[in-house]
Structure 1
Amino acid sequence: MDGWDFIRLVHALRAVSVSISSQDILDAQICLDQFPDLSEKQILKSLFIHRPQDLVMFETLWRILIENPKLNVQDYSEDQEENVVLEENQDSAGIGGQGVGRGSGGVSLTTKGNILNSSHLTNLIPFARIVELTCSGLELEEMVQKILAEIDYYTWINSNDLAYQRRELPEEAWYTHLDSRASLMQEVRQQVLMAQVSHENSWEPLARQHWLFKPLSTLTDEEKDLVKSSIRKWARKLAQRPGSRWKTSRRGSIDISRIIKQSVQCDGILFNLSYRQKIPRVPELVVLCDVSNSMAPFVEFLIYMVTCLRARFRKIRVFFFIDSVWDVSDFVWDDDPSGVKQEIKSWGHKASSGFTDYGNVFRELVEYNLRELSSRATVVILGDGKNNYRPAQSEYIAQISSKARNVFWLNPLDSQEWDEPDNMMKEYQKYCSKVYRCRSASDLQRIVKDVF
């Protein structure tokens, strides 16, 4: 590997949010020089990848920069003019078997019990077809699903599932099929990402697939665990913040007044410096969480965030709402959101129309809870601002804003969507200290650093 490829790889990894320190780079250069017989790829992977979740990013970048430095659509299409025939079980007839394709490399994956060799993966569909889908403006997952349909993937897995249920497929062949299924899905996704990077001439398509930047509603179970771990760390950080009072300390800010007093007592002689630190205070927090249908993709993470905050804050009140409010501060919270979801479902059936009414929610809070709101409290609203064409009643959020220390609104929608006719964010925004987009882990991280 020459120095230019090395630099490009490091730059690309950093561009897609893989953390690489200067020490990692130095260690990699030393190892590449001292161990020329070892695989360069394995050396760099072991030194640059610190989280299993980043392995896919590394593999994709390696293929783009090192294995396929010049993506040529014409080359791909010429190489794939002939249909690919997968290894088959000669004793069993396949189901379907027609393939879809587009007349240029369509294949069938439907033969019962066949073994998908990894060397065939790149030939399942012409790269030119993937580029064509990329230019159509579809999202990544939409393209993946379309490609899978075109190579008859779903018929293939259904035929194998049926064969296994009928005990026509040996156990060993079944597990081999499952591995092939996962490999195929990963390969298709990598091919699509490569096409997007080539089309946009940017690493942005890859960066969007990092767990920090993916929408919370599209995360895998493994990525959800990463986000939950991050939320726990942020909750610990939020639990205490410097107050307005000071205390004597061994280090911190120099305490000028104390130094002067000591020097006066000692005839103006200065013996040592005095320091002071702010006394940590436990902030008061009021959380309002929209649990309507439009917020359903984000509710699990909002609930988890509230759970972590409740575990850290001594003074916290939590309200759920749709078109009216209910206090869940005394609810028994744990890491499993199923109990909270059941509470939301049961309450919604008996006390809500299912359509959000922010105006009525703010009115109820002012009439029944405003007196209990401290002037030192911070109000955090988690919602999309969709009011279903009902009156905004912004005078009530104005009263809440005038009473509380701060009002922060976390909205999963992009700011362009706030202009929709049924969205009241533009009206409510003027009464908030700050409004943030909050639909990914990176958004949560930025909010914590900025606000708390």
Structure 2
Amino acid sequence: MLELLIGFATALRATGISCSQSELIDASHILSEIDFLNRDQLRDSLRCAMVKDPLHIDAFDRLFEVFFSLKGFDHKGGEDDLEGPGEQDYQDEIDLTDLLAKALLQNDREKLTRYVRQAVSRFGGIEKGRAVSGLYYAYRTLRQIDLERILLLLEADLEREGGSELDRKLHKLKAKRLVDTLKAQVTKEVTELLVEDRGPVAVARTLAVTLPEDIEIVRASREELARMQRTVEPLARKLAARLAQKHRSQNSRHVDMRKTMRASLSYGGTPVELVTKPPRPHKPEIFLVADVSGSVASFSRFTMQLVFAMSSQFSKVRSFAFIDEVDEVTSYFSSAKDINEAMRLVNTQAKVVWLDGHSDYGRCLESFWERYHTDLTRRSSVIICGDARNNYHAAKPEVLKLINGASKHLFWLNPEPHAYWNSGDSVISRYAEYCDGVYEVRSLRHLERFITEAI
């Protein structure tokens, strides 16, 4: 058991979850205090000892299912474990589909487990010793089960209860949740079979578990972006703190000569004690300019999340969106109750299209300078977010030089991998010349690195 725990800790570290030696020792002590055959108790106990960030719980649970969800934890064993394709409760795929739907509706875990085991045995086609991800076998099984038919059966059965339009919508949501339960059960069964064949360490390597801070923003789903929101808010606070700290360190060097000379009179005119000027109130101004074209749609939503979080940390945050025209969208964020409403207003009301709806960075930078350059001061930090793919329009990097000269900082955040920069219609190198820094920001971890290094 201790060897299994050490392998589990190694897998957590490989994923990016910090697990110190002392935490591993605490986890090993837990094993002697609990009934480790009780999976729920074991999972909760190890989670308390080995997970510090709530956002890492999902990754922890996925790896826990690999290392500790052996069949011996779930049931006592018996004839069901020995079932093969010849001992089935159905005659064909349609019968199995009906049985699975019935088990889901009745919330009969025992039957659901048995039917799923038979489905994986028949449709999964698991080949022992073959280094294939469990997702492949789970996909093959689910494709043969006919999830659409199961969903229709569940909806039809639930709608027999009748009710209002709201009730019908709730029934559809419940049916989808039950189908998700079935998918999870199939994945769990496949994982257990693979662990029995290859061992947990080998299976863990094929899972490709990704922490929220390592998810590529441009490929993130709406659900993943929603989970990221909980991490964006602390990063916005960190950005505000870094700017304030930098301002204090810069102002601490200014000596108040008049007060210093007055204080020196007590020492015969020798300036023994230096008196510094009190720091001026720091009111950093953030101008965030984001490309919201289709090629970086997920990244633009992420930057808007960042703006929404930053608005509560800075005295003045102004946000701008553009495709081939730039428009200020600050008011949408100040009036919206949440990020979803703000994004809806940006997508429906912002005037970001001028001609053909394809990104034109040169024109947008020029328009930004002409309309808003008088608002830039030496307190302003301008952050431009986009891939700098200009669709072969005029880049006009000289405009960026003007923006840099009128502001305190100018940073560029690029969601593309560095290897893709300057390929095709990318003009990032022409803009980099006039920026205080150009950073690859494809994940929350990259964003945190930008805040730490640049600010």
- TM (norm. structure 2) is 0.71
The answer on whether the counterparts of 2:132 and 2:206 sit within 8 Å (CA) in structure 1 is: no
Alpha carbons of structure 1 residues 387 and 128: separation in structure 2 relative to 1, 3 Å: farther
Matched with 1:58 is 60
The answer on whether the counterparts of 1:246 and 1:277 sit within 8 Å (CA) in structure 2 is: no
The answer on whether the counterparts of 2:155 and 2:175 sit within 8 Å (CA) in structure 1 is: no
Matched with 1:450 is 453
Matched with 1:20 is 19
Q: Deviations over 1:256-291 (max 9, x none)?
A: 9999986873689xx999999966622121111111
Matched with 1:435 is 438
Q: What's the secondary structure of 1:422's corresponding residue?
A: coil
What is the one-letter code of the residue matched to 1:44? L
Instruction: From 164, 167, 172, give the equivalent of 2:157.
Output: 167
The answer on whether the counterparts of 1:304 and 1:337 sit within 8 Å (CA) in structure 2 is: no
**CA distance in structure 2 between the partners assigned to 1:150 and 1:13 by the alignment:** 28
The answer on whether the counterparts of 2:66 and 2:200 sit within 8 Å (CA) in structure 1 is: no
Deviation at 1:182, TM superposition (A): 3.7
Higher helix content, 1 or 2: 2
Q: What's the secondary structure of 1:184's corresponding residue?
A: helix
Alpha carbons of structure 1 residues 32 and 265: separation in structure 2 relative to 1, 3 Å: farther
Q: Deviations over 1:348-371 (max 9, x none)?
A: 587452100001111212333223
Matched with 2:346 is 343
Pairwise mapping of residues 187-226 of structure 1 onto structure 2 (< 5 A)? Answer: 187=188, 209-216=210-217, 219=220, 223-226=224-227
Deviation at 1:448, TM superposition (A): 2.1
**CA distance in structure 2 between the partners assigned to 1:174 and 1:417 by the alignment:** 43
Matched with 1:302 is 303
- Percent of pairs with identical residues: 22
Matched with 1:417 is 420
The answer to whether structure 1 residue 44 and structure 2 residue 46 are counterparts is yes
> Mean alpha-carbon deviation: is it higher for 365-374 or for 178-187?
178-187
The answer on whether the counterparts of 2:360 and 2:393 sit within 8 Å (CA) in structure 1 is: yes
What is the one-letter code of the residue matched to 2:408? R
Deviation at 1:5, TM superposition (A): 4.4
> Mean alpha-carbon deviation: is it higher for 21-30 or for 201-210?
201-210
Q: What's the secondary structure of 1:167's corresponding residue?
A: helix
Instruction: From 354, 375, 380, give the equivalent of 2:378.
Output: 375
What is the one-letter code of the residue matched to 1:402? G
Q: What's the secondary structure of 1:318's corresponding residue?
A: strand
Matched with 2:312 is 311
Deviation at 1:117, TM superposition (A): 1.0
What is the one-letter code of the residue matched to 1:296? A
The answer on whether the counterparts of 1:247 and 1:276 sit within 8 Å (CA) in structure 2 is: no
Q: Deviations over 1:154-199 (max 9, x none)?
A: 752211222234439999996995364242364389589989x999
Deviation at 1:424, TM superposition (A): 1.4
The answer to whether structure 1 residue 113 and structure 2 residue 75 are counterparts is no
**CA distance in structure 2 between the partners assigned to 1:176 and 1:389 by the alignment:** 47
The answer on whether the counterparts of 1:242 and 1:278 sit within 8 Å (CA) in structure 2 is: no
Pairwise mapping of residues 264-413 of structure 1 onto structure 2 (< 5 A)? Answer: 265=266, 281-331=282-332, 332-347=335-350, 351-413=354-416
Q: Deviations over 1:331-352 (max 9, x none)?
A: 3344232343343334458745
Alpha carbons of structure 1 residues 82 and 112: separation in structure 2 relative to 1, 3 Å: closer
Q: Any unmatched runs of 5+ in structure 1?
A: 69-78, 98-107, 135-142
Q: Deviations over 1:379-414 (max 9, x none)?
A: 101111111121212222222223322211111111
Deviation at 1:321, TM superposition (A): 0.7
Matched with 1:150 is 140
**CA distance in structure 2 between the partners assigned to 1:245 and 1:52 by the alignment:** 33
**CA distance in structure 2 between the partners assigned to 1:439 and 1:85 by the alignment:** 50
**CA distance in structure 2 between the partners assigned to 1:283 and 1:45 by the alignment:** 40
**CA distance in structure 1 between the partners assigned to 2:329 and 2:218 by the alignment:** 24
> Mean alpha-carbon deviation: is it higher for 239-248 or for 5-14?
239-248
Alpha carbons of structure 1 residues 343 and 148: separation in structure 2 relative to 1, 3 Å: same
**CA distance in structure 2 between the partners assigned to 1:182 and 1:32 by the alignment:** 31
**CA distance in structure 2 between the partners assigned to 1:277 and 1:29 by the alignment:** 54
Deviation at 1:434, TM superposition (A): 1.5
Alpha carbons of structure 1 residues 63 and 419: separation in structure 2 relative to 1, 3 Å: same
**CA distance in structure 2 between the partners assigned to 1:371 and 1:168 by the alignment:** 62
Q: Any unmatched runs of 5+ in structure 2?
A: 71-80, 104-111, 162-170
Q: What's the secondary structure of 2:146's corresponding residue?
A: helix
**CA distance in structure 2 between the partners assigned to 1:336 and 1:210 by the alignment:** 22
Deviation at 1:247, TM superposition (A): 12
What is the one-letter code of the residue matched to 2:390? N
- TM (norm. structure 1) is 0.72
> Mean alpha-carbon deviation: is it higher for 298-307 or for 199-208?
199-208
The answer on whether the counterparts of 1:419 and 1:426 sit within 8 Å (CA) in structure 2 is: yes
RMSD: 4.8
What is the one-letter code of the residue matched to 2:13? R
Alpha carbons of structure 1 residues 273 and 175: separation in structure 2 relative to 1, 3 Å: same
**CA distance in structure 1 between the partners assigned to 2:56 and 2:372 by the alignment:** 46
What is the one-letter code of the residue matched to 1:443? H
**CA distance in structure 1 between the partners assigned to 2:352 and 2:376 by the alignment:** 29
**CA distance in structure 2 between the partners assigned to 1:385 and 1:165 by the alignment:** 47
**CA distance in structure 1 between the partners assigned to 2:248 and 2:225 by the alignment:** 39
